Chains A and B, each alone.
Chain A
Amino acid sequence: MGLRENLVSYKMLLIVGLIILLAIPLLGSTYIDFLLSMALIYAIWALGYNFLLGYTGLLSFGHGAYFGLGAYTVAMLVTKYSFRPFLPVLATAVLVSTFFGAIIGYLCARHVAKYFALLTLAFSQLFYALTFKLYHWTGGSDGIGVKPPDLFGIKFSAIENPVGYYYFTLIFFLLSVYTGWKIVNSPFGKALQAIRDNPLKAEAIGIPVKRYKWYAFIISAMYSGLAGALYAPLFGHVVPDLFHFSFSGEVLFATLLGGHRIFFGPIIGAIIFTIARSYITAATIYWPLVLGSLLVVTALFFPHGIIGTIYVMLRRRGLQR
């Protein structure tokens, strides 16, 4: 198969995927609308997370922090301060996550490998502890119930308007995919990939490695914040668990499941993860065991993840011809 034909079939797949996503509400199930909204939010999160893991080669155990900051900002503004216009609320939430991502990223990006991972985890746990301590402000272990924000004068939440909320999320998902795709194929994106493959060489061709790792961290925090901000009105409640490292583990799991070496890997991984978890938790109380086993199988037999494995197989076939 030639490169051009490959591109055509790639585009076809994208169009089919888009049509499926657009058609989901036609199924007429509020639960599926909710589930797919959640899946798209996880996909935005995983896409942002993969700027670090897949494209810069940095393993973070603390990206729940930026998701949580986005979600808590929305919850506080809407419920505690009765500031309801959704678009400004979303923008504020993304700014807050990005701001903290910039500070924490600056401190973490100076360190490599395991120290980087441990620092991200430590900062995330710090937020976890703070949400308990500052209970007058954050609601402590009870969290905060999220009242519906206003969108162009109407009360807008997943409960009031499940189909509307799904399409609203879909728009942000598509925007995220578009900008994400642009970034990874830009000179900046290639510079990140050079750092991932060989930091010493990247520095030797004039790329300021620490600074670019920091930029990647900020971008990933921004996407995580957007995901968290969209999550709050959908789920209707935010709790400190969003800051716990086990929650950060979910985005890592989703990313590895789909495959961190390929752009659409984490996106598909997040969608599969969200749907699978929903059905597995409904089916058995031993769902962590099932998910854990799934992760072990993925790590041992499909290190490229689901999409990555398919891609590698297609590439091999292409090379053999």
Chain B
Amino acid sequence: MREVLVTKGLTKFFEDFKAVDNVNLILYEGTITSLVGPNGAGKTTLLNMISGVIKPTKGKIYFMGKDITGLPPYKIVKMGIARGFQLPSVCNYLTTLDNVRIAILSHMGKVRNLFSPVDKDEEAYNKAIEILKTFGLYEKRDLLAQDLSHGDRKLLDVAMAFALEPKLILLDEPTSGVSTSEKGKIMSTIERVIRERGITALIVEHDMDIVFSYSDRIVVMHEGKIIADGKPSEIKSDKRVESVLLGVG
């Protein structure tokens, strides 16, 4: 299988604290990999480095064979890596439609356009509507993002990442703060879109039942290091993982 993302010796220090310690990770095309581990394991820091939000202290990141270490986030996005945030990150005073539409226009390279009205771009509009329908946000398209429920804001955040038509998507706890009954539904929507479009995904998630249900592969981090990496069945039977995740032993 083709290697989409490769990290080599990726390390991040916050002063003396090793948030991520010598992580070597390869993601293969069209697979869903879950990143699990206790709080402070370095999962979000790893995502932040891949998406360019923070620069690594040491190590390299390659995407589709190209070195992307230290590039600014907007350039990394343009290359095909999109990300969703742990706390829903949306534009509060834009409508749900405009949130998705600006992501699409950005992806289409049209945001420099100064004078043509946003409403007249039918291609962008149709794409936005399709994404909104996929994520069940169509009915709420004219509401300002600030007026959406927490769950819908979370969905909108994820929808904006998918609107960028990425090759690789990084999702940071896409179902956190969503009611337990909704979690399964949202995750199955996300999984369906990822599979349909052949996107490679790296998903941080805490709910192990959900993780086991959709993952092709599970990577376990603890204290900045990868301590286990394998198929869900292998991870399930790994005693060491159990002790780390449950905090026993």
Contacts and interface: CB of A to CB of B under 8 A. Distances in A.
Interface of A: 179, 182-183, 185-191, 193-194, 196-198, 200-209, 212, 261
Contacts of B103: 205-206
Contacts of B82: 204-205
Contacts of A209: 74
A215 to B, nearest CB: 9
B116 interface: yes
B91 A207 contact: no
Given A193-B94, A197-B93, A188 B114 contact: yes
Contacts of B44: none
Contact of B102 (A182, A191, A208, A261): A191
Main SS at interface, chain A:
helix
A175 to B, nearest CB: 13
22 contacts: A182-B115, A182-B117, A183-B115, A185-B117, A185-B118, A186-B115, A187-B102, A187-B111, A188-B111, A190-B102, A191-B105, A191-B106, A197-B92, A201-B90, A203-B72, A204-B51, A204-B77, A204-B83, A205-B163, A206-B106, A207-B106, A209-B74
A187 B105 contact: yes
B195 to A, nearest CB: 23
Nearest to B121: A187
A189 B111 CA distance: 8
A187 B121 CA distance: 9
Contacts, number: 110
Interface in B129-186: 145, 157, 160-161, 163-164
B74 A208 contact: yes
Report the interface size class on chain B. 35 or more
A3 B145 CA distance: 19
B101 interface: yes
B209 interface: no
Nearest to A192: B111
Contact of A201 (B98, B114, B160, B163): B160
